């Protein structure tokens, strides 16, 4: 399951029946919202949550953030150490958590969802290594 801007009751029903009949259930991510056009829109996580409720279980695997699967695959493919990588993002529960799970440094940018006031409230799994107002500020460092 991924973001589907045409998601509907009929698509939910089709997914539910397929999964209950034995189809594998994977998700790209579980972001509840995503910033778009200057506001928040429903993310793939809203669709994943609907399917979870319909089938009574969670996906077998989430390949996107916060899972480190994709990051680890890239590290392995390019033979790069996690200590050489910086994961940049604007969400604690996805971007920062995935970087931390892959043992990379993480940079929280404050141009999206998260705020500076929330930084000290995060668990170790969601605490960024660095915080900047914008990704453009990287060039100033």
pLDDT digits (tens, 9 = 90+) for 60-91: 988 888 889 889 999 999 999 999 999 999 98
**pLDDT recorded at residue 36:** 82
Based on the number of CB atoms within 10 Å of its own CB, is 136 exposed (0-12), middle (13-18) or buried (19 or more)?
exposed
Q: What is the pLDDT of residues 15-56, one digit of tens each?
A: 999 999 999 999 998 889 888 888 889 999 999 999 999 999
Whole-angstrom distance, CA of residue 6 vs CA of residue 140: 41
Answering whether pTM is above 0.85, one says no
Q: What is the DSSP string of 108-140?
A: EETTSS--GGGGGGS-GGG--SEEES-GGGGGG
Domains detected in the chain: 9-62 (3.40.50.1000), 69-140 (3.40.50.1000)
Whole-angstrom distance, CA of residue 129 vs CA of residue 118: 14
């Amino acid at each position: 399951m991924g973001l589907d801007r045409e998601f509907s009751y009929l698509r939910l029903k089709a997914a539910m029946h397929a999964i209950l009949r034995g189809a594998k259930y994977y998700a790209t991510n579980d972001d509840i919202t995503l910033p778009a056009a200057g506001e928040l829109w429903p993310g793939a996580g809203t669709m994943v949550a609907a399917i979870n409720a319909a089938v009574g279980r969670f996906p077998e695997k989430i390949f996107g953030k916060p899972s480190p699967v994709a990051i680890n695959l890239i590290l392995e493919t390019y033979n790069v150490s996690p200590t050489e990588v910086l994961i940049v993002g604007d969400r604690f529960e996805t971007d920062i958590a995935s970087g931390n799970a892959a043992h990379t440094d993480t940079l929280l940018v404050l141009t999206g969802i998260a705020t500076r006031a929330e930084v000290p409230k995060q668990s170790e799994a969601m605490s960024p290594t660095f915080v900047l107002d914008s990704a453009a500020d990287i060039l100033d460092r």
